[in-house]
């Protein structure tokens, strides 16, 4: 008989004497006993947006912090902190009285030991992969911060316990008088780790050159537009000339990882577009050491009209807001020199 147990580590759970569980930032349950003839298999996952996390190549690190030993008096398992690196976790540990907050504190202590002492995980695997041949015990799951082209991800540390109890349908049970210990079958178990993500931003540089400039001031306006996960992004930028034939402007804070169309919507008084007036470009995320800025290039030439002028730059800024966020319009008047 095979059981597949899915455990959602999204909320704190209260541990009772016969419960062995795992919680996000606390403890999660898994069941089976590799020492009793079954092969432990554990899949570390996320609760949603799994494909986006996989794009970030997130790696789960698994540490065994204690053994799970059958209790000779009761139908339960006890933890023995016999792993040398984590032996100090037994100080103050009381499985019978531990609350959800106590388990959260234990997770923090285990994480600090692993990180401060550079403890090597027993296995590292991509999120979503299945880890096999695990012994009974209490395990720490750490997933370092990861990034995709669009998002930065952070993950909560989690303690996972094997074995545990399941009902007749293979669902986890956290009561003292129900369920059956799963310890002598081949089983696959899955935990979902709590996580958060933040949109990455990038910059776009618009380069403007004018063939045979007439020496008169002019303002060139550009529309930046593209589809993102939050809907349509739309912004405006302007490049002002005062006789110089090459100018540029950079727009920062654009959602990264998407393709945008940059269109010259106003070629400036006295000028006309010389070439294509729209270009596509993919904005990449800012890097810590070397900021990568996407670029587009536009060329104009005098139209012969001799007209002069100035313009308004409509600039849209994303406001998170309490109702889900929206683009907010601001306007900047761009005057001719000496005005």
Over the stretch 131-146, which tens digit does the pLDDT of each residue have?
Answer: 888 888 889 999 999 9
Query: Which stretch of 125-139, 149-163, 198-212, 300-314 has the lowest confidence by average pLDDT?
Result: 300-314
Query: Does any domain span residue 339?
Result: no
- Among 99, 63, 95, 98, residue whose Cα is nearest residue 79: 95
Picking from 290, 230, 238, the residue whose alpha carbon sits closest to that of residue 262 is 238
DSSP conformation class of 256: T
Residue 252: other Cβ atoms inside 10 A: 12
Q: Are residues 233 and 262 in the same domain?
A: yes
Q: How far apart are CA 64 and CA 87, in angstroms?
A: 11
Convert the pLDDT of each residue in 90-99 to its tens digit.
999 988 888 8
Distance CA 113, CA 324 (A): 39
How far is residue 233's CA from residue 230's CA, in Å, rounded to a whole number?
8
- Asked if residue 11 has pLDDT above 50, the reply is no
Both 180 and 91 in one domain: the answer is: yes
Residues 68 and 204 in one domain: no
Instruction: Choose one of 140, 170, 198: the last residue of a domain.
Output: 198
Neighbour count for residue 239 (Cβ, 10 Å): 24
Domain boundary among 168, 198, 228: 198
The pLDDT value given to residue 146: 92
Structural domain contains residue 107: yes
**Number of domains observed in the structure of the chain:** 2
Q: Within 13 Å, how many C-alpha atoms sit on residue 54's CB side? A: 9
pLDDT of residue 8: 33
Which bin fits 37, alpha (ψ -120 to 50), beta or left (φ > 0)?
Answer: left
- The pLDDT value given to residue 182: 56
pLDDT band at 20; cut points 50, 70, 90: very low
The reply to whether the predicted model has a pTM over 0.85 is no
Is the domain of 188 the same as that of 245?
no
Residue 176, domain extent: 3-198
pLDDT at residue 202 tops 80? yes
Verify that 187 and 248 share a domain, yes or no.
no
Which has the higher per-residue pLDDT, 188 or 117? 117
């Amino acid at each position: 008989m095979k059981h597949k147990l899915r455990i959602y580590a999204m909320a704190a759970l209260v541990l009772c004497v016969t419960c062995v569980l795992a919680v996000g930032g606390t403890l999660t349950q898994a069941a089976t006993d590799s020492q009793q003839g079954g092969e432990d298999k554990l899949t570390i996952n996320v609760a949603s947006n799994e494909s986006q996390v996989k794009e970030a190549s997130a790696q789960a690190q698994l540490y065994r912090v204690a053994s799970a030993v059958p209790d000779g008096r009761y139908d339960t398992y006890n933890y023995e902190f016999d792993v040398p690196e984590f032996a100090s976790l037994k100080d103050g540990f009381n499985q019978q009285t531990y609350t959800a907050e106590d388990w959260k504190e234990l997770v923090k202590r285990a994480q600090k030991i692993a990180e401060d002492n550079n403890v090597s995980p027993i296995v590292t695997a991509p999120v979503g992969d299945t880890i096999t041949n695990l012994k009974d015990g209490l395990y720490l799951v750490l997933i370092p911060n990861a990034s995709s082209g669009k998002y930065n991800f952070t993950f909560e540390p989690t303690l996972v316990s094997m074995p545990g109890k399941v009902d007749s349908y293979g669902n986890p049970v956290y009561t003292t008088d129900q369920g059956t210990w799963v310890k002598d079958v081949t089983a696959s178990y899955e935990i979902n780790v709590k996580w958060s993500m933040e949109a990455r931003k990038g910059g776009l540089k618009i380069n403007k050159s004018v063939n045979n400039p007439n020496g008169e001031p002019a303002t060139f306006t550009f529309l930046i537009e593209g589809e993102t996960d939050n809907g349509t992004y739309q912004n405006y930028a302007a490049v002002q000339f005062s006789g110089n034939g090459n100018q540029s402007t950079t727009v920062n804070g654009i959602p990264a990882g998407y393709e945008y169309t940059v269109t010259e919507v106003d070629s400036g008084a006295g000028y006309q577009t010389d070439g294509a007036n729209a270009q596509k470009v993919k904005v990449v995320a800012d890097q810590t050491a070397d900021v990568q800025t996407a670029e587009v290039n536009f060329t104009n030439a005098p139209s012969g009209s001799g007209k002069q002028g100035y313009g308004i730059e409509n600039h849209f800024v994303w406001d998170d807001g309490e109702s889900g966020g929206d683009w907010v319009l601001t306007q900047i008047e761009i005057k001719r020199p000496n005005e």
